[in-house]
Structure formats: structure tokens, C-alpha cells
């Protein structure tokens, strides 16, 4: 009974529809909330879910459900699974290893999980999807457990290329010049043998290795790849100023991976941390720097780069600046970024959601990009989290909505790592802080609708679920959400939650594909 009640509380969130009417390059978001009485909704949902197993992810119309968790393999203990995840469209999921920053140790490995291919009967019935079986455990090539190996991971969309960041790895020079310069390891799927194996194909060193300011630059703290390009962030590079940051682009050629471009911080701002987040899709790269200044200190900023193929101006060039429509001091705009086709998403997990509450629950902003001709960006929507559980009991607490995000087609998954849960096992309901959750939004006919709030069936205080989030697919879409965990509470606390819809993939994506 307790689980059913907890599930019903997590399920009660209004759907939020955001329609857009563009005018002179700007957008006017009209937000329509379908409101209800909170306690009545909780009671009704509790009655509906008693006897149904109490899946906390069954929200609104029952589209998304919790399908299970991925737990740490023995090889990764005691630190277990980490907070970084990346998924492909063929059902593969990469999970970075856990890390204990207090002692500078990490699991020293990355795990790969594979989705079982649904049968034809299952594919028409909306059966559960998501990675279930452990496909591989990839250790650091030299067995290191202090390089941050797996603090960032990136799979290409086809699941044939895996990039693993080791931002704490020493550079080519002795200490202190080589201290935590960082490296990136690239693995490729070898299909020549009877079994599929991941082979180390290249080791990318920071082009700044050995130069002034490269020590502590953390090359590989963020990574993105589309299979052709690999984008690597060094958010703490200090060549321009302390922790101003930089980004580097590598391209696959006939002779392997070659350095193609270097993006310095556009302003050279101290502690701007340019390159905290990166995303790439074809000829476009998005770089976020959450500590960048603007109208307010540390409001954050995001920059767009484009690959020019003109004979007179080949190479990567700065294309545009994306500024938050709701700049907030310390708003962390650019903490997470994503690009898919003509859509760009930017998370700002500490922004005010309203001028009245100023609760810093965070927002996600979406732009429509014109990919041909001159670059034109149109703000499509600014999305704040649906009403939180804490608000349902009369409290206002920041949720960190936008600390992570994943964008694929018409689906957007957003991590809210500080989200609360309610423990109703006692006579007086208690607020469990920092459990975290994932919000799912779907786009149809130009409208983004918040359709689900996904949370663990057993919320854990300070687990910070949603610190990493990924959307994968193999006939059915699924969402993987990694938790940050608390190493002081248990050994190997890492865990990845898997959610999938009960509807078929065609039903979920058809509307979005028709609008692309």
C-alpha cells in the first residue's frame, strides 16, 4: 500500500502545453495548465494504482513506465556505475564508472548494455523496451583508477563508435605542467570476428598539452560525437584566463582521427568554463558554458558553430550566440545542451521560473535552427518544470530542472536532480530531499507537452536521479537516467533507471517526424 501511495504522489503532475506563435523572429509562449485539486488528484490516482504494482512512472495517461534498474557489475565495484550515460538508436547504452572525488579514485571502467530485439508480436503490442543485458565492460587501457576514465561517454547514433573521457589523466609533461591535462579514448566496434568486440582505435591528447594553462584543463570533461566528428570540452583550460575553457574538434579521415579545429572561449572570461557541455549534429556544434557572464554574473551562455564548405572559407566558424530569454544571476544557462536536426535545447537548472516565486527550479529553452543558408534561430519554447511535489505540500524548493537533457526527434527528457519525493509510510508525510526525477516532453503540431514525471519506485534522498539522461531506441524508445549517488551511504551506489512507454515507437515519433 505504501508503494502505491508513493507512486500516486509521483504521478500527479499537470500536463503542460506550450504553443508557439513566432513574430519577427521571436516567440510568444502561451502556457496552458490543466489544473486540478492536488490532494483530490493524489487520492484518485492512489485508488487507481492500488493493486497495479505501484509503478511511479505511470503518469497521466500511463504512457511511460519504470522497467527496471541496471546495477553495477562486480568488475566495477566498489564505486560501481557513474552519472554519465549515452545511448544509440540501435539499443546500445554506455554508462560511465563511479567516482569518489574525495580520494581521487574512480571505477576505471565503462559498461555497455544491449537492448533485446523485440519479437514481431511484441513490437505491435507496445511491450517494454530498454537495455537489459550487460554487453561489455571496458577498463582503462592501463588499468588506471585515478584518471576519471568514464566521467564522460558518448556513443555515435549508430552505436559503432564509443568515446570515453579521462579528464584527470596526466599529460605528456611531468608534474605540475602535466597535471590533469586529460585524454579521450576512442573505441570502435569490430565486426570481423565471430563475436562483436570493442577495440581501442585512437587516443586523443589535448592539442594544448604542454602549453601554458593546460595543466588542470580537464580535456575530456565533456564529449559529443555524431560518428564523423568528435567534440571535446576542456572547461578548465587556463590559456586565456583561469578556467576560461576551450573546445577541440577531431574528424575521422583516411589516416584516422585528426585535429580539425580549436574553439577558444569567445570572451576569454575567467572561470567562464567554456566547454562544460557540448553537442554535435553534422555541420553544427553547440557549446555551453554555464558560468559565463552576461547581464548578470554566472548567468551562462551558449555558442553555435558551423562547418563551412565554401572554397573561400572552409572549416569551422562561429555562427551565433544563444542567450537565455530569462537571464538569472547564477542561472547556469548552458549546463546542458543538445541538438537534433533543426532543434537546439539548452538547460538552465538554476534559473528563476517566475519573477514572483524566484524559486530557481530551472528552465529548458528550445530554438528552431535554419540549417541552410544564413543561420537563423527562432526561440520555440521556454519550459519550466510542472508543479513539484514540494509545492503540493506548500513548500518551494529548487528542482535543478535542466541539469541534464536528451533530445531525440519529438522527445525531450530533462533531468531535475534536486526534485523531492514524499514518504507517506509515516503518519505525517515527510519530504525526501534530492531524490531527483526526469521530466518527459513530447512535441506534436508545434506544441511541447509535459507527459510524464519519472521517478524511482523507491526514491532515495540525495541520490540525485537524472544527473545523466539519455534517449535510446530499438523499435521502441526508452530513457536511461543515471543517479549521482552518495558514496558515504553505501558502496557502489551507482544505478541507472530504465523507463519506456507502453505505446509503440511509431505512435510516439510520428507527430514529431512530420514536423521536421
Mean pLDDT, range 427-444, rounded to an integer: 87
Highest mean pLDDT among 10-24, 82-96, 351-365: 82-96
If we measure between CA atoms, which residue out of 363, 409, 418 comes closest to residue 389? 418
Determine the Cα–Cα distance for residues 281 and 265; give it in Å rounded to an integer: 21
For position 28, what pLDDT does the model report? 36
For position 264, what pLDDT does the model report? 97
* pLDDT of 483 higher than 50: yes
pLDDT band at 15 (very low <50, low <70, confident <90, very high): very low
Q: How many CB atoms lie within 10 A of CB 190?
A: 13
Mean pLDDT, range 406-424, rounded to an integer: 91
Mean pLDDT, range 21-39, rounded to an integer: 34
Q: What is the pLDDT of residues 87-117, one digit of tens each?
A: 999 899 999 998 887 788 888 999 999 986 5
For position 433, what pLDDT does the model report? 85
For position 126, what pLDDT does the model report? 47
Name beta bridge partners: 268: none
* pLDDT of 439 higher than 60: yes
What percent of the chain stands above pLDDT 90? Answer: 56
* 210-238 as b/e: b if 16+ CB within 10 A: ebebbbbbbbbbbbbbbeebbbbbbbbbb
Q: Are strands 131-139 and 109-115 parallel, antiparallel or unpaired?
A: antiparallel
Is omega for the bond preceding 78 within 30 degrees of 0, making it cis? yes
Between residues 46 and 434, the one the model is more confident about: 434
Q: What is the pLDDT of residues 113-147, one digit of tens each?
A: 998 655 544 544 445 568 889 999 999 999 999 99
Instruction: Locate all alpha helices (DSSP H) within 57-129, ordered by sequence.
Output: 120-123
Least confidently predicted of 24-33, 170-179, 273-282, 293-302: 24-33
For position 125, what pLDDT does the model report? 47
pLDDT band at 77 (very low <50, low <70, confident <90, very high): confident
Q: Give the phi and the psi of residue 312 in degrees, each rounded to 5.
A: -90, -10
Determine the Cα–Cα distance for residues 323 and 288; give it in Å rounded to an integer: 11
Domains present along the chain, CATH in parentheses: 2-514 (2.130.10.130)
Q: Are 385 and 416 in contact (CB under 8 A)?
A: yes
What is the pTM assigned to this prediction?
A: 0.83
For position 434, what pLDDT does the model report? 87
**Residue spans of beta strands (DSSP E) within 36-91:** 64-71, 81-87
Is the four-CA dihedral 338, 343, 348, 353 of positive or negative sign? negative
Q: How far is CA 123 from CA 118, 171, 201, 477, in A?
A: 6, 49, 35, 11
- Cell 538508436 sits at which residue? 89
Instruction: Locate all alpha helices (DSSP H) within 213-296, ordered by sequence.
Output: none
Determine the Cα–Cα distance for residues 431 and 394; give it in Å rounded to an integer: 11
If we measure between CA atoms, which residue out of 451, 439, 454, 448 comes closest to residue 512? 448
Determine the Cα–Cα distance for residues 44 and 449; give it in Å rounded to an integer: 22
Q: How many CB atoms lie within 10 A of CB 391?
A: 18
Determine the Cα–Cα distance for residues 187 and 155; give it in Å rounded to an integer: 10
- Cell 585515478 sits at which residue? 146
For position 123, what pLDDT does the model report? 47
For position 416, what pLDDT does the model report? 95
pLDDT band at 474 (very low <50, low <70, confident <90, very high): low
For position 498, what pLDDT does the model report? 95
| List of residues 6+ apart from 469 with CB closer than 8 A | 85, 404, 405, 406, 413, 414, 415, 438, 479, 480, 481, 482
For position 342, what pLDDT does the model report? 95
Amino acid at each position: 500500500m505504501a508503494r502505491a501511495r508513493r507512486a500516486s504522489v509521483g504521478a500527479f503532475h499537470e500536463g503542460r502545453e506550450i504553443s508557439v506563435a513566432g513574430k519577427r523572429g521571436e516567440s510568444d509562449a502561451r502556457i496552458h495548465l490543466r489544473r486540478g485539486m492536488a490532494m483530490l488528484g493524489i487520492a484518485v490516482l492512489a485508488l487507481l494504482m492500488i493493486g497495479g504494482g505501484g509503478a511511479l512512472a505511470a503518469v497521466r495517461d500511463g504512457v511511460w513506465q519504470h522497467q527496471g534498474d541496471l546495477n553495477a557489475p562486480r568488475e566495477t565495484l566498489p564505486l560501481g556505475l557513474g552519472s554519465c550515460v549515452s545511448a544509440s538508436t540501435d539499443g546500445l547504452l554506455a554508462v560511465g564508472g563511479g567516482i569518489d572525488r574525495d580520494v581521487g579514485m574512480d571505477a576505471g571502467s565503462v559498461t555497455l548494455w544491449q537492448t533485446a530485439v523485440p519479437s514481431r508480436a511484441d513490437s505491435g503490442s507496445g511491450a517494454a523496451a530498454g537495455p537489459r543485458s550487460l554487453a561489455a565492460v571496458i577498463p582503462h587501457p592501463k588499468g588506471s583508477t585515478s584518471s576519471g576514465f568514464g566521467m564522460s561517454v558518448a556513443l555515435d547514433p549508430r552505436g559503432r563508435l564509443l568515446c570515453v573521457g579521462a579528464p584527470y589523466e596526466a599529460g605528456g609533461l611531468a608534474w605540475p605542467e602535466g597535471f590533469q591535462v586529460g585524454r579521450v579514448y576512442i573505441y570502435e566496434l569490430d565486426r570481423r570476428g565471430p563475436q562483436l568486440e570493442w577495440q581501442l582505435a585512437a587516443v586523443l591528447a589535448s592539442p594544448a598539452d604542454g602549453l601554458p594553462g593546460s595543466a588542470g584543463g580537464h580535456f575530456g570533461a565533456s564529449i559529443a560525437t555524431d560518428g564523423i566528428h568528435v567534440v571535446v570540452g576542456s572547461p578548465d583550460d587556463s590559456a586565456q584566463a583561469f578556467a576560461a575553457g576551450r573546445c577541440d574538434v577531431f574528424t575521422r579521415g583516411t589516416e584516422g582521427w585528426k585535429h580539425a579545429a580549436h574553439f577558444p572561449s569567445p570572451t576569454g572570461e575567467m572561470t567562464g568554463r567554456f566547454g562544460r557541455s557540448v553537442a554535435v549534429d553534422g555541420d553544427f556544434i553547440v557549446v555551453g558554458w554555464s558560468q559565463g557572464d552576461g547581464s548578470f554574473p554566472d548567468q551562462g551562455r551558449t555558442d553555435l558553430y558551423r562547418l563551412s564548405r565554401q572554397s573561400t572559407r572552409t572549416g569551422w566558424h562561429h555562427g551565433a550566440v544563444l542567450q537565455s530569454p530569462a537571464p538569472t544571476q547564477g542561472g547556469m544557462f548552458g549546463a546542458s545542451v543538445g541538438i537534433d536536426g533543426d532543434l537546439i535545447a539548452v538547460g538552465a537548472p538554476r534559473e528563476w521560473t517566475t519573477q514572483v516565486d524566484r524559486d530557481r527550479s530551472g528552465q529548458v529553452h528550445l530554438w528552431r535552427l535554419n540549417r541552410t543558408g544564413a543561420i537563423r534561430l527562432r526561440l520555440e519554447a521556454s519550459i519550466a518544470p510542472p508543479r513539484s511535489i514540494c509545492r503540493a505540500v506548500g513548500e518551494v524548493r529548487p528542482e535543478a530542472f535542466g541539469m541534464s537533457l536528451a533530445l531525440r526527434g519529438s522527445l525531450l527528457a530533462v533531468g531535475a536532480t534536486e526534485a523531492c519525493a514524499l514518504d507517506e509510510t509515516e503518519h505525517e508525510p515527510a519530504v525526501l530531499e534530492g531524490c531527483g526525477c526526469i521530466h518527459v516532453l513530447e512535441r506534436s503540431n508545434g506544441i511541447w507537452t509535459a507527459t510524464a514525471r519519472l521517478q524511482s519506485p523507491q526514491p532515495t534522498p540525495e541520490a540525485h536521479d537524472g544527473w545523466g539522461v539519455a534517449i535510446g531506441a530499438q523499435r521502441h524508445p526508452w530513457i536511461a537516467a543515471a543517479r549521482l549517488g552518495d558514496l558515504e551511504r553505501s558502496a557502489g551506489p551507482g544505478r541507472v533507471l530504465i523507463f519506456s512507454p507502453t505505446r509503440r515507437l511509431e505512435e510516439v515519433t510520428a507527430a514529431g517526424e512530420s514536423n521536421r
